[in-house]
A and B are shown apart, each in its own frame.
Chain A
Amino acid sequence: MAEEELREVSIALAGQPNVGKSTVFNMLTGLNQHVGNWPGKTVERRTGTFVHDNVRVHIIDLPGTYCLTAASPEERIARDYIIRERPDVVIAILNAASLERNLYLVAELLALPVPIVIGLNMMDVAQQEGFEIEPAVLAAAIGVPVVPMVASRNEGVHELIDAALDVALHGLKGEPHRPEIRQDHRELLDRLLELIREHVPSPYPPDWVALKMLEGDQEITALMREVLPPEVWATVDGMLRKHEDAIIAVASGRYEWIRRMTRAALKRPRAGNITLTQRLDNVATHPFWGLVVLGIVLGVIFTLTYKIGGVLQEWLATYLVDKLAEAVQGALAGAPAWLSGLLVNGIIGGVGTVITFLPILAVFFAVMGLMEDIGYMARAAYVVDRFMHAIGLHGKSFMPLFLGFGCNVPAIMGARIIESERSRLLTILLAPLVPCTARLAVLAVLVPIFFPQQATIVSWALTALPLVVLALTGVTINKLILKGERSAFIMEMPLYHVPNWRTIGILVWQRLVAFLRKAGTIILLMSVLIWALSTLPTGEIEESYLAALGRFLAPLGAPMGLGWRPLVALLTSFVAKENAVATLGVLYGVGENSQALAQVLSSQFASASALAFLVAEMLFIPCVSTLAVIKQEAGSWKWVLIDVGFLAVLTLLAGTIAYQLGALLL
């Protein structure tokens, strides 16, 4: 069939979290999907295309949200998309095992000017839990198609798209039954609508705007304040102030509607039978045993990621990267030194950095995806929330941050499991303060050289330092910037269920591709750049542009007691933290001879300077791979610059304090 004969339909996929929405999306699009971010947000945006019965379907996966107020970026994105882009049909995926709560989003969607179709997912789970649901009765009550499905077994997905395309091409049969505000506020809503109706700008539906204003929706209220004549605004503002709790009446109206809609369609189980989820949660959410379980799970994740991933990583480095470098070096035997230097040390070195990340990332994403899909992630977040709360972070920030001890790159990418955008961003920006294995390796080499007598205690103090800074920063940001409601901990505990390998596989694949395409290019470019700076113009690092930069920055090093050589070592650690040691070796003319290095370092460094250098190494700007991933995940260079600026100032401050204190005490 020729392409132009295909009809085009746009579908938006909406749903609350934990309803299997991404499973449905993956079933429909397979690997034929595009993953990116919503413009200017760290919220993931997934789109895809497929052909169904001679119709080309463009589908977009809206962020999972419980409702459509503007309280979170996800909610704003979902509703703005529906109102501004007007998809031909919105599919609402519901979890049949918590039908009533899931219908709340439907109640909100019905107020928007798009037809909707309901996909009643997880029918198998609902049945196990003892619910009896009649989709046809529900469909008749609401007046929109309801398709029962088990997306994880690909049951009902085809029928869902049939129903959605039918509505997209031919419209709904009759008006759906929409919820109304609770009786006692009906008159108020009518009066408000009367006042604003003629002023509401397109494409917003006036009755929806009136409802949102009553709900206390700040975005819509601000919008109407702009467009309403001052005297009308004064009246409206007075009404809204008098009824600040109208949101409860609106929500109650929706739940009244839900009760009416489900009266005939839903039979609930008798209370009392203990489910598998309850039995597992007796341990997993216990204040003490829950921590024990978490400890075991973390141990397993860590071992898997860094044992399996580490072995694969070494294997790749030895058999792929090193062999390639050798081959290129051999082939370029007669070529100018700068060319083989560029190819071998610059480009292959950079590629090697990128490639050797892949095994660790793959194992890490698989394990994280598995934990999330099973439903354990919410339990882990619950048991650690009391600790994370104290430093202004969400319970869900714990898992990614903890795994940052291995490597910051997967930690930052793992922050995607945090639903709230603010907590996710904060976690991403704080992650570099978790000391990774590379930084700890530098400590392990240098501390015994500088502080042979107190190596253990100095190592511990230097490891704890960034963590203390992380906690203090979290507390400060939470107190000063995000006060109050922002850190609210409200989290659904989904039912445990059997993992869907297809969903996990696609997730791992997408994350790896995203890393290669976005972070990979940046890492490669920066590696080549730093290599060039450290080699040009003569090939000797002592005479390089990087050394010149180090000398130029020397005044900054002075208060920390650091000359240009340690500054250059810090700068090269930007490519990879462990470079710091090697650079010191080169700059002090001892190469890789560790004994000579120890000798020259202990004679060249005063104890106070050594302390300042180590403090700076622990706090200084993360490696280029980490920064590249921050750019990728936070979606803009702005956040990278803010983070780098913050860490640079922090390094200067802490380094200076360490040097001055050290000079006094040591």
Chain B
Amino acid sequence: MGNDLVISLAELAPGEWGTVVDLRGGPGFVGRLAALGFTPGATVRMVRNPGFGPLIVEILDTQIALGRGQALRVYVRRRR
């Protein structure tokens, strides 16, 4: 695995891949993200991350725009 550090989704650079480890937040928030495929073990790819404002990630063949605040509450492990 190379790198075992758990980081927030917002820290992935465009083109990088990550594995979802955990979600933090109320049941409404976690439920919505989980329904879109953000469950532990799921693979995400960062598509756009301009460093400010919302970002775009790809999960389960779909691109999802996420607010930065939301992305900070999704924990991932960077994949090499």
Contact with A along B54-75 (1 / 0, CB 8 A): 1010011111111101100000
Least CB distance, B18 to chain A, in whole angstroms: 15
The distance in angstroms between the C-alpha atoms of A248 and B75, with both chains bound, is: 13
Least CB distance, A220 to chain B, in whole angstroms: 11
Are A100 and B37 within 8 A (Cβ)?
Answer: yes
Are A98 and B60 within 8 A (Cβ)?
Answer: yes
A461 in the interface, Cβ–Cβ < 8 Å? no
A378 in the interface, Cβ–Cβ < 8 Å? yes
Are B67 and A389 within 8 A (Cβ)?
Answer: yes
Partner of B27 from the list A66, A217, A255, A381 (CB cut-off 8 Å) is: A217
What residues of chain B lie closer than 8 Å to A56, measured between beta carbons? none
Are A255 and B42 within 8 A (Cβ)?
Answer: yes
Contact with B along A201-221 (1 / 0, CB 8 A): 000000000000001111000
Are A69 and B39 within 8 A (Cβ)?
Answer: no
Are B28 and A98 within 8 A (Cβ)?
Answer: no
The chain A residue with its CB closest to the CB of B60 is A101
A395 in the interface, Cβ–Cβ < 8 Å? yes
Per the 8 Å Cβ criterion, residues 212-269 of A in contact with B are 215-218, 244-245, 247-248, 250-252, 255, 268
Contact with B along A473-509 (1 / 0, CB 8 A): 0000000000001011111110000000000000000
The tally of residues in A whose CB lies under 8 Å from a CB in B reads: 44
Least CB distance, A219 to chain B, in whole angstroms: 11
Per the 8 Å Cβ criterion, residues 41-78 of A in contact with B are 66-67, 69, 71
The chain B residue with its CB closest to the CB of A95 is B62
- Per DSSP, chain A at the interface is helix
A98-B60, A285-B56, A386-B53 known; A489 vs B31 contact (CB < 8 Å): no
What residues of chain A lie closer than 8 Å to B64, measured between beta carbons? 490-493
The distance in angstroms between the C-alpha atoms of A378 and B70, with both chains bound, is: 18
User: Which bracket fits the contact residues of B?
Assistant: 35 or more
Are A493 and B63 within 8 A (Cβ)?
Answer: yes
The distance in angstroms between the C-alpha atoms of A378 and B39, with both chains bound, is: 24
What residues of chain A lie closer than 8 Å to B39, measured between beta carbons? 248, 251-252, 255
The distance in angstroms between the C-alpha atoms of A67 and B30, with both chains bound, is: 12
The chain B residue with its CB closest to the CB of A108 is B35
What residues of chain B lie closer than 8 Å to A381, measured between beta carbons? 65
Partner of A488 from the list B23, B29, B56, B62 (CB cut-off 8 Å) is: B29
What residues of chain B lie closer than 8 Å to A491, measured between beta carbons? 64-65
A287 in the interface, Cβ–Cβ < 8 Å? yes
Are B56 and A382 within 8 A (Cβ)?
Answer: yes
Per the 8 Å Cβ criterion, residues 117-146 of A in contact with B are 129, 131
B2 in the interface, Cβ–Cβ < 8 Å? no
What residues of chain A lie closer than 8 Å to B69, measured between beta carbons? 488-489
A385 in the interface, Cβ–Cβ < 8 Å? yes
A97 in the interface, Cβ–Cβ < 8 Å? yes
Contact with B along A375-407 (1 / 0, CB 8 A): 000100110011001000001000000000000
The distance in angstroms between the C-alpha atoms of A381 and B26, with both chains bound, is: 25
Partner of B35 from the list A67, A216, A287 (CB cut-off 8 Å) is: A67
The distance in angstroms between the C-alpha atoms of A99 and B40, with both chains bound, is: 19
The distance in angstroms between the C-alpha atoms of A123 and B41, with both chains bound, is: 28
Contact with B along A298-314 (1 / 0, CB 8 A): 00000000000000000
B48 in the interface, Cβ–Cβ < 8 Å? yes
B6 in the interface, Cβ–Cβ < 8 Å? no
A382-B54, A386-B53 known; A247 vs B48 contact (CB < 8 Å): no
The chain B residue with its CB closest to the CB of A66 is B35
The distance in angstroms between the C-alpha atoms of A491 and B35, with both chains bound, is: 12
Least CB distance, B36 to chain A, in whole angstroms: 6
The distance in angstroms between the C-alpha atoms of A98 and B29, with both chains bound, is: 22
Are B29 and A251 within 8 A (Cβ)?
Answer: no
Among B23, B30, B41, residue most surrounded by chain A Cβ atoms (within 10 Å): B30
What residues of chain A lie closer than 8 Å to B63, measured between beta carbons? 281, 492-493
The distance in angstroms between the C-alpha atoms of A255 and B69, with both chains bound, is: 25
What residues of chain A lie closer than 8 Å to B65, measured between beta carbons? 378, 381-382, 385, 395, 489-493
Least CB distance, A271 to chain B, in whole angstroms: 9
Are B52 and A71 within 8 A (Cβ)?
Answer: no
Are A287 and B31 within 8 A (Cβ)?
Answer: no
The chain B residue with its CB closest to the CB of A129 is B61
The distance in angstroms between the C-alpha atoms of A252 and B34, with both chains bound, is: 8
Contact with B along A98-117 (1 / 0, CB 8 A): 11110011000000000000
The distance in angstroms between the C-alpha atoms of A608 and B70, with both chains bound, is: 48
What residues of chain A lie closer than 8 Å to B66, measured between beta carbons? 489-490
Partner of B32 from the list A71, A252, A389 (CB cut-off 8 Å) is: A71
What residues of chain B lie closer than 8 Å to A104, measured between beta carbons? 35-37
What residues of chain B lie closer than 8 Å to A247, measured between beta carbons? 27, 30-31, 34
Per the 8 Å Cβ criterion, residues 5-34 of B in contact with A are 22-23, 25-34
The distance in angstroms between the C-alpha atoms of A71 and B31, with both chains bound, is: 8
Least CB distance, A381 to chain B, in whole angstroms: 8
The distance in angstroms between the C-alpha atoms of A296 and B40, with both chains bound, is: 41
What residues of chain B lie closer than 8 Å to A244, measured between beta carbons? 27
The distance in angstroms between the C-alpha atoms of A287 and B47, with both chains bound, is: 13
The distance in angstroms between the C-alpha atoms of A250 and B64, with both chains bound, is: 22
The distance in angstroms between the C-alpha atoms of A281 and B54, with both chains bound, is: 15
What residues of chain B lie closer than 8 Å to A492, measured between beta carbons? 36, 62-65
The distance in angstroms between the C-alpha atoms of A245 and B27, with both chains bound, is: 8
A100-B61, A244-B27, A382-B65 known; A490 vs B32 contact (CB < 8 Å): yes
**Contacts A/B (CB < 8 Å), 25 sampled:** A66-B35, A99-B61, A100-B61, A215-B27, A216-B30, A218-B27, A248-B22, A248-B23, A248-B40, A252-B40, A255-B37, A255-B42, A285-B56, A378-B65, A386-B53, A386-B54, A389-B67, A395-B65, A490-B33, A490-B36, A492-B36, A492-B65, A493-B63, A493-B64, A493-B65
Pick the 6 closest A-B CB pairs, nearest first: A216-B27, A386-B53, A251-B34, A489-B67, A67-B35, A71-B28
